[in-house]
Structure 1
Amino acid sequence: MADAPVVAVRGEAYREVAPELARFTVTATARDRDRESALTRLAERAAAVRVLLDSAEPAIERRETGELRVWPETRRSGERVVAYHGSVSTTVTVTDFTALGELMLRLAEQDQVEVSGPWWSVRRDSPAYREARHAAIADALTRAREYAEALGARVTALVELSDARMAAEPLLARAGGGVGGLAGGAAPELELDPRPQPVEAAVEARFTISEPVLG
């Protein structure tokens, strides 16, 4: 068996699957000539965002406070402070896409709040990756059998199998520009079309084959 002919192949699989998660960011900002007033406004606006997110808790899988920034605005010359700025961002991960558009618009209605996203993705442990890996192995075996058949031989055993590249990380695909603040009144309806996510897998395999029939 050690001297048996060997065929080396690469098996690949590519799938497009429905996203499982949607992520967006919501940022509250404030500006005032007085530092304490700027901070107070920022805290109030961040609290209003939290209230809205609390009300949408069933659709939210995860929320994380990101960067908090407070900085002075100075004149072009010198260090004289003319105003203070502040911002705080929250990243929200949603699993219920039917509630996503309404939630983003409700947040965008808030004073001095910016909403950006969504970015679609597949869970790291999604069955789609397992299915892609199985398909890549099946592709490698099919190719090996085809090469062996062309030589008048058959595949006899697997010598080695390796992961040529890890299954693609969930890709984040932005659906459009950020949603700015909206005028007062009832929020308009917004339907979002989830973007299919690519899932890939590739393997490299070596198989022994029976003695080729040449000539």
Structure 2
Amino acid sequence: MTTPTPLPYGTPDTPRIAVHGEAHLEVDPELARIAVTVHARGRDRRSTLADLTRRNTAALDLIRSYGDAIERLQTGTFTITPELTRKGREERVRTHYGTVHITAELTDHTALGELTTRLADLELTRVMDLRWALRPDSPAHRQARQQAVTAAVQRAREYADALGTTLTALVELADTGAEQPDRHRPRSGGAETRAIAYSGDPDDIPAPPLDLEPRRQHVHATVTARFTMAPPTL
């Protein structure tokens, strides 16, 4: 004889209760990401490439000099683009533009302001796009999930108490939206600042480090929990 599958909404003998549990945390960021763009411009393609290579090397060497404060360093898009101009019926190359995009992640927020200022002092180097973030495996995410579960259990117990009964078993526990993950993709909690600093004259007196205040990160977790409870006396 096949045992009947319990109904998702329970029965009079085994009533069920479904609740949501949520948690919201505000924590300090663990990482700071900056985007650096190195530029070069010249009439000759080869000299433009040489200038771009020299400036890119200077930027990378400066970032690497911060040692353990750098979590990750990546080179992104590299381009050398000719600008054409028409003269009569012929197209001619007027000038060449070169760019290299660099991304750096720092764990030391004190070093961030100094590095940003020093990068801006480099020739034709632009610092943009500051973002604060947490690591994917940050303890803050685990803490939020645990608090969401605790909130769900507490809420279920309050409903059971209101009925004069008690919970008997946990039937299901799931992240809200676990069956439709595309609707609940994690969103970046970082703050974006465009055009933090621009290249300056290398002969100028070095500017003092920028005072960059980390933006607190918001961590949110939601769970759905289903319990059975002893039949209440109504």
Residue of structure 2 in register with 1:131 after alignment: 143
Match of 1:173 among 173, 191, 194: 191
Number of residue pairs the alignment of both structures matches: 214
Matched, 1:154 2:174: no
Tell me the secondary structure at the aligned position of residue 125 of structure 1. Answer: coil
How far did residue 167 of structure 1 move? 8.7
Alignment of 1:17-56 (within 5 A): 17-56=27-66
Output one character per residue of 1:116-171: Cα deviation in whole Å (capped at 9) or x when no partner.
13210001111111111110001111111111111122111111111115794552
Residue of structure 1 in register with 2:91 after alignment: 79
| 8 Å Cα contact 1:25-1:92 kept in structure 2 | yes
Residue of structure 1 in register with 2:221 after alignment: 201
| Structure-2 separation of matches of 1:174 and 1:76 | 40
Output one character per residue of 1:13-71: Cα deviation in whole Å (capped at 9) or x when no partner.
11111000001011111011111111111111111112212222231111001100111
Output one character per residue of 1:80-129: Cα deviation in whole Å (capped at 9) or x when no partner.
21001110111001001111001011011011101013210001111111
More deviation, 67-76/113-122:
67-76
After superposition, the Cα gap between the structure-2 partners of 1:76 and 1:158, relative to the gap in structure 1 and judged at 3 Å, is: farther
The CA RMSD measured in Å over matched residues stands at: 2.0
Matched, 1:143 2:155: yes
Residue of structure 2 in register with 1:121 after alignment: 133
Match of 1:182 among 184, 188, 200: 200
Which sections of structure 2, spanning at least 5 residues, go unmatched? 1-10, 178-183
> Percent identity over the alignment?
46
How far did residue 2 of structure 1 move? 9.3
Tell me the secondary structure at the aligned position of residue 110 of structure 2. Answer: coil
Matched, 1:13 2:23: yes
| TM-score normalised according to structure 2 size | 0.85
Which sections of structure 1, spanning at least 5 residues, go unmatched? none
Matched, 1:101 2:113: yes
| 8 Å Cα contact 1:123-1:170 kept in structure 2 | no
| 8 Å Cα contact 1:26-1:90 kept in structure 2 | yes
After superposition, the Cα gap between the structure-2 partners of 1:111 and 1:54, relative to the gap in structure 1 and judged at 3 Å, is: same
